[in-house]
Amino acid sequence: MTLSPMDKRFLSGAALTHLAASERILFEQWGCGPSVQPAYSNVHHAIEAQARRAPQATAAICAGQRISYEQLNRQANRLAVHLLERGVKRGDTVGLFVERSIAMLVGLLAVLKVGAAYVPQDARIVPTLQLGQVLEALSSPLVLTLSNLLERLPADAVPRSLCLDTFLAQMPWVAEESEQVGALAEPDDLCFVLFTSGTTGRPNGVCVSHRNVCNILLTSPGQMGMAPGITVGQVLNIGFDMAAWEILGCLAHGATLLIRGKDIAQTAAQCNVLIATPSILATLDPLQCPDLSVVAVAGEPCAQALAERWAEHSTFHNGCGPTETTIVNTLHRHVPGTLLTIGRPTPNNTVYVLDDQGRACALGETGEMWAGGAGVSAGYLNNAVLTQERYRPDPFLGGDAVMFRTRDLGRWTADGQLEHLGRVDDQVKVRGFRVELDAVTAALEAGTGCTRGVTLKVDDRTLVAFVSPASADTQDCLSECHRRLAYYCVPKFIYALEAFPMTARGKIDKAALLRLAEDYQAATWAGATTEPGHD
């Protein structure tokens, strides 16, 4: 997309004509973020600028190891030259199957330097089958990983794997002149591809460009006060889109990234800036984080009480936006004692609340939120059909602008803030991760003796499932979930029933199943499982 949302006023078409003139004006004022030009159009150029500006500044710390901006840039240059020699080229999608580490940062930056896109997966916890499905979609001849993770990769990935730790160990960490890699990437080239769960049981890769990334990370409030001398926590799963906010945002602004180990609280206590899901933030005590001055949450609904607690301690932002709109496309600084909302669109982005016919809802009416502007990503990797289904021409901006159907419900408050009111489908958030319930059900139904399954969300951390008939092997159904799905998709309990309760309209009565699950959880049940381990 080349058109900034504020370069032209909203078009007055059929989607707006039913509104009064005064509401049309507010629809534009509230739904369109400010027009701001990011300082860079490729995120690695911003990181390289920091290396020139303050070469000895600390870029990252992990497990006692420190790397400066100069060292990070030089090591990434050397690796980038090697990637080019091995056949990686501009436009490739390169698997980054790693764990949190400094080597991960070098690999990520090197991929960007050659004009390719990195595809992050935490190989410690992602099932081998899922890694294989991601790998099938990628174009690069190489996969970047770590030597201790080779046994976690699909067998056919090992011959094409480059172990970052081994490669870097062969090169001294000294400040000497090294090869410079040309600025190959253009703003609309891909920066990264994030894989989310899909309704078919196969993950979908969301294609995010440099223009998308720079638009949120290099403008306010997305820059989150990151600057030289500021410490930023890296606490999130690297396969989660918000991890790019931590990592790329920090490095692009010259701050210091604190890469966590197993103890999130220990890292949070040392940070000035923390980006997290509400579930993670709820485990932390603001009194134990005296230096934490800026906090942002997204990925799942935030409770008012949690926002109140942290807003009294830090500058607190509540955000919203699916991966397809690049991390978040709304952010709201919460003031204690006021209604918690998701705010307004971030710079160069738009949000429209529309009815079933795609017309603008009257202000205050509930509708589905569609997102437009510079944050809208380039669609799904190798999936034109799904891209056409979810991304549509933007009737308000016109031209070549597109908008994305978020499937989130919302409405405008009287003062022009967006309230998030849930989902319109079976896509849910669990532990901050997006989960397609249909994908979990598909895994259940692959279990021995299972002819039908249902997956339900109990709370923000728990899924339960039912399978039919009663003779279905619940342990095998559980094994299929572990084999096919990420840990956060695995149901905590699986129950077998001869038949599912039905509503008067002939649909499965999910409310009745949830009540039944509550009853079962109070008793010993042969199909109950222990909670899966989590990162």
195: β partners: 205
Per DSSP, the three-state class of 46 is helix
The pLDDT of residue 207 is above 80: yes
- Rounded Cα distance between 175 and 185, Å, is 26
**pLDDT recorded at residue 7:** 39
- Rounded Cα distance between 463 and 457, Å, is 5
Of the candidate ranges 284-298, 327-341, 506-520, the one whose mean pLDDT is the lowest: 506-520
Banded pLDDT at 87 (limits 50, 70, 90)? very high
pLDDT tens for each residue of 493-522: 999 999 888 765 556 888 899 999 888 877
The pLDDT of residue 366 is above 60: yes
The pLDDT of residue 172 is above 70: no
Give percent of the chain above pLDDT 70: 91
Mean pLDDT over residues 231-259, rounded?
96
- DSSP-derived pairing of the beta strands 58-62 and 65-68: antiparallel
- Max distance between CA atoms of the chain, in angstroms, equals 74
The pLDDT of residue 534 is above 60: no
| Residues 6+ positions from 525 with CB-CB distance below 8 Å | 493, 495
- Rounded Cα distance between 317 and 296, Å, is 4
| Residues 6+ positions from 110 with CB-CB distance below 8 Å | 75, 76, 77, 79, 80, 83
Angle at 127 between CA 122 and CA 128, to 5 degrees: 100
The pLDDT of residue 122 is above 50: yes
| Residues 6+ positions from 314 with CB-CB distance below 8 Å | 286, 289, 292, 293, 294, 295
DSSP structure class, residue 360: B
- Rounded Cα distance between 475 and 349, Å, is 46
Banded pLDDT at 196 (limits 50, 70, 90)? confident
**pLDDT recorded at residue 9:** 44
The pLDDT of residue 138 is above 80: yes
Angle at 23 between CA 17 and CA 25, to 5 degrees: 95
The pLDDT of residue 3 is above 60: no
Banded pLDDT at 341 (limits 50, 70, 90)? very high
Nearest C-alpha neighbor of 75 from the set 35, 48, 36, 53: 48
| Residues 6+ positions from 234 with CB-CB distance below 8 Å | 60, 100, 243, 246, 247, 250, 257, 258, 259, 260, 267
Provide the whole-model pTM.
0.85
Angle at 384 between CA 379 and CA 389, to 5 degrees: 75
**pLDDT recorded at residue 184:** 75
Could you list the beta-strand ranges (E) of 107-249: 117-122, 143-145, 161-163, 190-196, 204-209, 231-234
Banded pLDDT at 25 (limits 50, 70, 90)? confident
367: β partners: 410
Peptide bond into 34 cis (omega under 30): no
Distances from the Cα of 78 to the Cαs of 113, 349, 356, in angstroms?
10, 37, 53
Q: How many beta carbons lie within 10 A of that of residue 34, not counting itself?
A: 14
**pLDDT recorded at residue 530:** 37
pLDDT tens for each residue of 419-455: 998 878 777 889 888 888 878 988 898 899 998 889 9
Mean pLDDT of the chain: 89
| Residues 6+ positions from 454 with CB-CB distance below 8 Å | 441, 465, 466, 467, 500, 508, 510, 513
pLDDT tens for each residue of 15-24: 787 888 888 8
61: β partners: 66, 258
Of the candidate ranges 213-217, 292-296, 424-428, the one whose mean pLDDT is the lowest: 424-428
**pLDDT recorded at residue 372:** 97
As given in the structure block, the two tokens for residue 10 are 């909203």
Q: Which phi-psi region, left, alpha or beta, contains residue 232 (left: φ > 0; alpha: ψ -120 to 50)?
A: beta
Cβ atoms of 209 and 187 within 8 Å: the answer is yes
Banded pLDDT at 302 (limits 50, 70, 90)? confident
- Rounded Cα distance between 348 and 350, Å, is 7
The pLDDT of residue 31 is above 90: yes
**pLDDT recorded at residue 8:** 44
Burial of 533 (0-12, 13-18, 19+ CB in 10 A): exposed
The pLDDT of residue 112 is above 80: yes
Domains and CATH numbers, the chain: 427-521 (3.30.300.30)
529: β partners: none
Banded pLDDT at 183 (limits 50, 70, 90)? low
Decide which of 424 and 384 is more confident.
Answer: 384
**pLDDT recorded at residue 45:** 96
The pLDDT of residue 313 is above 50: yes
The pLDDT of residue 533 is above 50: no
Nearest C-alpha neighbor of 76 from the set 180, 151, 165: 180
